[in-house]
A and B are shown apart, each in its own frame.
Chain A
């Protein structure tokens, strides 16, 4: 219950092809994250699955049956919108009860379900308030509550955390992951933030201009990015991308080295450069180093590293963890 399969699904708005034909399989119970830069078609893809947009071609199967022509209400999917889309004139209770009321459920059953959902989501104290009287995080919970009471076969989230401040975002991330573990329901989650993708996903789908660049588990994408786009998109701080002579030396058009895969030293090293900015976080030290003939590189040292602006340091890339890409930007498998 809750598998979603896209077969040659494409979407055009007029002449503009936002999503070229693509195939994708989402297994039952999986937490799938669509990640990509803003405007790459993540929301459109999610709305196609929800049935809020009609596909231009292709077939969408939900639980093995063709759902391409089904209206949104019939697909048994619940969506949490970026703006939360709460009904402003209804109390929290009525908001959460709305889908059940529309389904014609009995009053007493609705009350029991709403109370249970409110308790799960820590909303019991605000149950009679209007959305306008709630904080961002509380509104977020109401939107999730409205989704879970329906007991859908899959949840769709469209950038649900982008309106929250950083601290709250971290908490909600954990809450949503926990929710996935307790409910064990398929979740499709859209975000432009690769940190959210890496921390929450069972499977990440990296999108770029409507095309799927790579599908895989967070660690697969981290260890073996299929191309330069995925390599530079996944990981924080992002991977150093180097072209030219140093890349040719390694037998590639482009090489990529993650900041954490440099050996930093005060003297010696394969490349030597001048520290531009140094960020000391205690647990880590991030250095921006200008290396002549290579470019500006970001390097991470664990713990404290004694380097300041203007110092010269040595950088030695770990050859085992260097990513090599060909002229088309595709990974060269060694």
Chain B
């Protein structure tokens, strides 16, 4: 006997997945209604051999990897900074988490129009003050710019998790290392970093799940362009199904994305298994 809740949950998950799977094997273009027919693996062949796919795959990995690097390394450094006793500690910590509460679309638009805009943006203004040429961030460096925007959103999360981990470090361990002759660098790399490994694993795990499906930030800033320079897999799926009206190929892309996400998840679970059960 399955409880109604479980059945509901199953339907909730299985129905969209099953329908996507079904559509992915159909020739199904919104511009040609009535021509739907079973199409074998043609949609998959089309999606996977599209040069845009490999580029999008590369962009997805760069986006996830780049944001993870910035947030974990930057978060560790910021956590060390915030752990120092200072004036107005409570307020600083509270302000610090603010970016996390800003909607992704809003924060991306703020970055696009107020910071990175080559004529009105703050960065352009600073460049002009120092006599430099303003850079068209989103035009010339679309992917790094998006990585920067997303990293800004996730940095507080990483910092807070790492800060709590840092505060749980037994101060006697640091003192013991001090007496054992370890200098500040050795103490950081031999004692603090291993202690933070678990928390960093949790940060990586949670962030990866969200970063694999980044969409809104790309939509409102670069629209995947120029060309496909800032298109990731979710954006490619969107472009196929809703810009080119090809639901069949879009669905095939969706299934590919699910498979990729599962591959990443398996890798992550192994890492978690190694790190979480010390």
Contacts and interface: CB of A to CB of B under 8 A. Distances in A.
Nearest to A132: B278
B175 A85 contact: yes
A77 interface: yes
Contacts of B194: 87, 89-90
B278 A99 contact: no
A50 B179 CA distance: 8
Contacts of A72: 175, 178-179
Contact of B172 (A83, A102, A132, A150): A83
B191 to A, nearest CB: 6
Given A83-B170, A102-B186, A132-B278, A89 B179 contact: no
A85 B187 CA distance: 13
A310 interface: no
Given A98-B190, A132-B278, A85 B172 contact: yes
B263 interface: no
Contacts of B176: 79, 81, 85, 87, 146
B181 interface: yes
Contacts, number: 60
Contacts of A89: 194-195, 197, 278
Nearest to B193: A89
Interface string B196-229: 0100000000000000000000000000000000
A85 B178 CA distance: 12
Name the interface size band of chain B: 10 to 19
Nearest to B187: A102
B120 interface: no
A103 interface: yes
A98 B278 contact: no
Given A99-B180, A102-B180, A88 B278 contact: yes
Secondary structure type dominating chain A contacts: loop
A52 interface: yes
A89 B194 CA distance: 7
B180 A130 contact: no
Interface in B152-181: 170, 172-173, 175-181
A73 interface: yes
B182 interface: yes
Nearest to B174: A85
Contact of B178 (A73, A86, A132, A146): A73
Contacts of A87: 173, 176-177, 190-191, 194
Contacts of B197: 89
B125 to A, nearest CB: 47
Contacts of A81: 172, 175-176
Given A98-B190, A102-B186, A132-B278, A146 B172 contact: no
B166 to A, nearest CB: 15
A115 B197 CA distance: 29
A74 B106 CA distance: 55
Interface in A66-112: 71-73, 77-79, 81-83, 85-90, 98-99, 102-103
A85 B170 contact: yes
Contacts of A86: 173
A73 B186 CA distance: 13
A146 B180 contact: yes
Contacts of B178: 52, 71-73
A78 B179 contact: yes
A241 B263 CA distance: 76
A77 to B, nearest CB: 7
A182 B223 CA distance: 76
A300 B3 CA distance: 71
Q: Which of B176, B195, B197 has the most CB of A within 10 A?
A: B176
A52 B195 contact: no
A133 to B, nearest CB: 10
Contacts of A98: 177, 180, 182, 190
Given A83-B170, A89-B194, A130-B278, A52 B175 contact: yes
B174 to A, nearest CB: 9
A52 B180 contact: no
A73 B174 CA distance: 12
A177 B178 CA distance: 26
Interface of A: 50, 52, 71-73, 77-79, 81-83, 85-90, 98-99, 102-103, 130, 132, 146, 150
Closest 6 interchain pairs by CB?
Answer: A99-B180, A85-B176, A85-B172, A89-B194, A102-B181, A73-B181
11 contacts: A52-B179, A81-B175, A81-B176, A85-B170, A85-B176, A86-B173, A98-B180, A98-B190, A102-B182, A103-B181, A146-B176
